[in-house]
Homo-oligomer: A and B are copies of this chain.
């Protein structure tokens, strides 16, 4: 399980760094701004989780994550700058990153003895806070709050299913894969079929 968490965590960091760079690029930031926003997107969710749990922050404990985030950010910057890529292209890596981070975050919180509801929320925080930070730093309303196609809700459903499956005695690694598949599937189906949640004001 620890091994799975490690590699999945590294992959999620790289994927999120990629989405951070693409969004920062739209604001015409220079390379250092892009690196910092990409780094915050990639490492922000896990950092907030570790601070809330009073764990050693993962990228200070193991610099590999930091190197992965910085390398992906710089590589993406030089690979795609100047190109005008369609925004929809990035929905799939973004959904992968959401699934990976949420499951890793929930699992770590459970191992640190957080109660189940708090653990599921710490998973959601790990999954979405990077993107929230990215949007706040780019001075936008965080997409996760306004975008209507099940984002945080997909993550929360997955986190709760991970908690539930483990309670039912499903082996942790299998439960983790199921929860990741659930998040990814819910998010993609919601995009394809435009499934949305009710908004506050029905009429506008």
Interface residues of A (CB under 8 A from B): 24-34, 36-37, 47, 51-54, 56-57, 59-60, 63, 66-67, 77, 81-82, 114-115, 117-118, 121-122, 132, 136-142, 144-146, 148, 151-153, 156, 196-204
Q: Which of B34, B51, B144 contacts A51 (CB 8 A)?
A: B51
Question: CB distance B60 to A28 under 8 Å?
Answer: no
Closest chain B residue to A33 by CB distance? B145
Q: Which of B29, B137, B146 contacts A29 (CB 8 A)?
A: B146
Question: CB distance B37 to A145 under 8 Å?
Answer: yes
Question: CB distance B82 to A201 under 8 Å?
Answer: yes
Q: In this complex, which of A59, A136, A199, A200 has the most chain B Cβ atoms within 10 angstroms of its Cβ?
A: A200
Given contacts A29-B200, A54-B54, A138-B141, 10 further A-B contacts (CB under 8 A): A24-B200, A27-B145, A29-B199, A30-B196, A30-B198, A33-B144, A33-B146, A53-B60, A60-B122, A82-B201
Contacts of A156 in B (CB 8 A): 32
Contacts of A26 in B (CB 8 A): 200
Contacts of A34 in B (CB 8 A): 200
Contacts of A145 in B (CB 8 A): 24, 27, 29-30, 32-33, 36-37, 137
Question: CB distance B31 to A199 under 8 Å?
Answer: yes
Question: CB distance A30 to B201 under 8 Å?
Answer: no
Q: Report the Cα distance A18→B30, complex, angstroms.
A: 27
Q: Report the Cα distance A198→B31, complex, angstroms.
A: 6
Q: Report the Cα distance A117→B201, complex, angstroms.
A: 43
